[in-house]
Amino acid sequence: MQPIIECVPNFSEGNDLTIIQQITDQIETVEGVRLLNVDPGKATNRTVVTFVGHPEAVIEAAFLAIKKAGELIDMSKHKGEHPRMGATDVCPLIPIANISMEETAKYAQQLAKRVGEELALPVYLYEAAQPNTARNNLSVIRAGEYEGFFKKIKLPEWKPDFGPAAFDAKRGGTVIGARDFLVAYNINLNTTSTRRANAIAFDVREAGRKIKNEQGEDVVQPGTLKSVKAIGWFIEEYGVAQISMNLTNINVTPVHIAFDEVCKKADARGIRVTGSELVGLVPLNSLLEAGRYFLKKQKRSTGVSEKELIKIAVKSMGLDELGPFKPEERIIEYMLYNKADSKLVSMTLTDFADETASESPAPGGGSISAYVGALGVSLATMVANLSSHKKGWDDRWEEFGAWAEVGEKYKNELVKLVDADTKAFNLIITALGLPKSTDEEKAIRKKAIQEATKFAIEIPFKIMQAAYSSMDVIKTMAETGNPNSVSDAGVGALCARSAVMGAFMNVRINAAGYEDKGFVDEIIAKGREIENKTLALEAAILKVVNDKIGV
């Protein structure tokens, strides 16, 4: 999976929609970026923009937006309620999927350096991107705001990290950094009392509340949840009080932990939680973790589909109490989903069979091998889940649940490879169709064919690896799983064997057209080894299955 980061720049213009549009238009010119939200505020005279994508694309889009904002916004005329210091006041990058905070911070530093050097704009780093802890807090950096920075920037301790140490009267300065994903989350109560909601909020929020100690002095009693800001309020639209929360680091306090803790504190005060709502978008993993958490509380297997985990999370936290919760509109990764990447696996079984049987050469043997492999490990995962819930095996639910999770991982990988193999074939067809009238065109075409061919070798080889690895789950389920389902494990082994051997045929036929013989010899040797191990493992699994069937 590709790394994904989010960017949430705040621009000092909330009234002139023409200016805002010109800024966001710049963002949308960059391929690989998706604009998710534009939220202008009139009173604050500030617009918060949210977009996501591959890191390289995101920092390019952010640079273009910062450049355009500097051209269009005149800070010398700006008035607004929100603290600000520049046309692009702050520009945080947030890791969303398959990327660490450290890696995200490096991208923020790259962006800051480019803005400072190419746009001659004073730039300060903050949070994870700022190595100097004395100046990594946004509110500290921004203290004095636009009006005060004409003097502040001349102080040695406030020299910008990048760009000139001279404040730009028109554009101001900007702050660029990397921070954790912030989730706005409201929890609904069966009361209309703001005071009681506030009491619960003070119980859980990190800042806690002030109390008197034995000496009568004011001291702070911290709340029970780290990285959480919270307050109670009454929502007239719904006729209920809520705990309004900002989860500033969902790695420290995830959504499901915040929900459960509020439930405990509310119950202690004679109040019940009736549901909750997420404001804005949420990373996929937040809901998957929540689903696993609530399943574990029920002592049930967590090795279920992504769709089922989300369903459990939504129902457990009542995310659909105040309105429908549509994952495709609320989960960041789903907002980026490209249907073309899963054309085949999105079909019905009948449509998939019809497409395979048609005169089109794709999907072919590679895609079918991947799907057969997915079905094989799915059978083993089914056995693991049945075993986890088997009456009398209550003390083994975690053991089988763990195997079901492994099975789900291989199933998901093989399902993705169904479309990937057809994509690899189509790349070869595209390369073969390139022009070849001149020597230069011939060279370009040949290079493209070779690159596509290598890809078409690598994809079925990945199918081989995944299908073979999945046989560990199949073998374990044949040996230790629910004996009533041992035949299902046997069928799973047959599917995995077919997936490996079928994929290897595709490796070999595509390798015949690849000119790097060193690469070909190496991958064929590895393929032979996997094929031989697969056949031996299949035989071992079938012996276990047949011995248990007994007839």
82 in catalytic set = yes
CA distance 28 to 37: 12
Name 351's Cβ contacts closer than 8 Å, sequence gap at least 6: none
Peptide bond into 283 cis (omega under 30): no
Q: Residue type at 48?
A: V
The whole-angstrom distance between residue 384's C-alpha and the CA centroid of its chain comes to: 27
Asked if 141 and 124 count as a contact pair (C-beta separation under 8 A), the reply is yes
Residue 429: exposed, middle, or buried by beta-carbon count in 10 A (0-12, 13-18, 19+)? exposed
Q: Are 76 and 58 in contact (CB under 8 A)?
A: no
Structure-block tokens of residue 175: 């702050």
Q: Count Cβ atoms within 10 A of the Cβ of residue 473 and give its class: 0-12 exposed, 13-18 middle, 19 or more buried.
A: buried
d(CA 257, CA 254): 5
CB 125 within 8 A of CB 137: no
Are 81 and 177 in contact, with CB atoms under 8 Å apart?
no
Please give the torsion angle defined by the CA atoms of residues 256, 257, 262 and 265, in that order, rounded to the nearest 10 degrees: 150
- Which positions ≥6 away from 69 have C-beta within 8 Å? 11, 12, 13, 23, 87, 88, 171
Residues in Cβ contact with 315 at an 8 Å cutoff, skipping those fewer than 6 apart = none
Q: Which residue among 39, 74, 82, 516 is the active-site one? A: 82
Catalytic site includes residue 389: no
Q: How would you write 394-454 as a 3-class SS string?
A: HHHHHHHHHHHHHHHHHHHHHHHHHHHHHHHHHHHHHHHCCCCCCHHHHHHHHHHHHHHHH
* Side-chain half-sphere exposure of 268, counting CA atoms within 13 A: 11
**Annotated catalytic residue within 89, 161, 419, 421:** 421
CA distance 471 to 494: 10
How many beta carbons lie within 10 A of that of residue 518, not counting itself?
A: 7
Residue 124, classed as helix, strand or coil, is: strand
Number of H helices, E strands in the chain: 17, 13
Q: How far apart are CA 249 and CA 244, in angstroms?
A: 16
> Which of the residues are catalytic?
82, 421
